[in-house]
Amino acid sequence: MRVAVIQQKNSADLAANLDHSLTLIREAARLGANLVMLQELHRSLYFCQTEDTDVFDLAEPIPGPSTERLGALARELDIVIVASLFEKRAAGLYHNTAVVLEKDGSLAGIYRKMHIPDDPGFYEKFYFTPGDGQFNDGRSGFSPIETSVGKLGLLVCWDQWYPEAARLMALAGADLLLYPTAIGWDPNDDADEQQRQCDAWITIQRAHGVANGLPVLVANRTGFEQSPVDDSGIRFWGNSFVCGPQGEFLARAGSDDEAVLVVDVDMQRSESVRRIWPYLRDRRVDAYGDLTKRYRD
């Protein structure tokens, strides 16, 4: 299967951001992609640098205006699109939500981000309620979304640091792990610290691919976005990539420029890798009960 991940710079102009995303999706489809993934919260600047109640006005319902436009494009291009939106579920109830648009334009499923960070410049707990399953249908929050191109193990940004999330997606039959992301550096960090952080981020996601024998798609944003209240900001580190089920890089973007990464993924390779590295066979499920505890005292 030919897949694409899009690494994009954003501005304060919502309409321009979405139009640019659609243009980049068209480019990916022109290059033969069957599955295209956008970065986290691609419709706006990364607004979680501050806590501001007026920002909730950016949220939209799902289905809603963005899913209508993305669905129409998916239908026109005959591709599956993975996008990321600020969802207004109800008054005072908001989520960081990834959506999957099927080739016929329909909404195949949603995933509401489960792990919500709260760090300087990343005040997501102020805005987002943790996810509780797709469409309230009783499934686990870590359930793949079935599509015409496979079962998509869709997770979002901070979820990417948690092996439990990737494992549960794999155990539920995911064919791919996908991570739309918005992560970057504090410009005040020195070069060595910046490199350590970026390397750790890449390594942990490649490790999820290795541990579960699955390909991994990662779409991060790029560019500098200044804080709305002072001279600080975040320089998003890009480095979007696709890797195979042994963590091998299939495609990788740089840090500072937009990119449309298009690459072929062998969907049969996971079976071959899992035969030589049968991690699922050798799991000691009888001994893992303490994983449900916050900490083992």
The answer to whether 110 and 67 are in contact (CB under 8 A) is: no
Rounded distance between C-alpha atoms, residue 66 and residue 183, angstroms: 23
Task: State yes or no: is 103 an active-site residue.
Answer: no
Catalytic residue chosen out of the listed positions 48, 157, 198, 243: 157
Query: Which residue in this structure is represented by tokens 């035969």?
Result: 275
Rounded distance between C-alpha atoms, residue 33 and residue 26, angstroms: 9
- 174: tokens are 């995911």
Catalytic residue chosen out of the listed positions 88, 113, 198, 225: 113
Task: State yes or no: is 87 an active-site residue.
Answer: no
Alpha carbon distance, N-terminus to C-terminus of the chain: 46
Task: State yes or no: is 48 an active-site residue.
Answer: no
Helix, coil or strand: residue 168: helix
Quick one: which of 178, 191, 259, 177 has its CA closest to 222? 259
Cα-flanking dihedrals φ and ψ of residue 103, to 5°? Answer: -60, -25
* Dihedral of alpha carbons 165, 87, 64, 78, sign: negative
Query: Which residue in this structure is represented by tokens 């002072």?
Result: 230
The answer to whether 7 and 254 are in contact (CB under 8 A) is: no
- 256: tokens are 């500072």
| Radius of gyration, alpha carbons of the chain | 18
The answer to whether 230 and 186 are in contact (CB under 8 A) is: no
Rounded distance between C-alpha atoms, residue 53 and residue 169, angstroms: 34
Cα-flanking dihedrals φ and ψ of residue 285, to 5°? Answer: -65, -20
* Positions marked active-site: 40, 113, 157
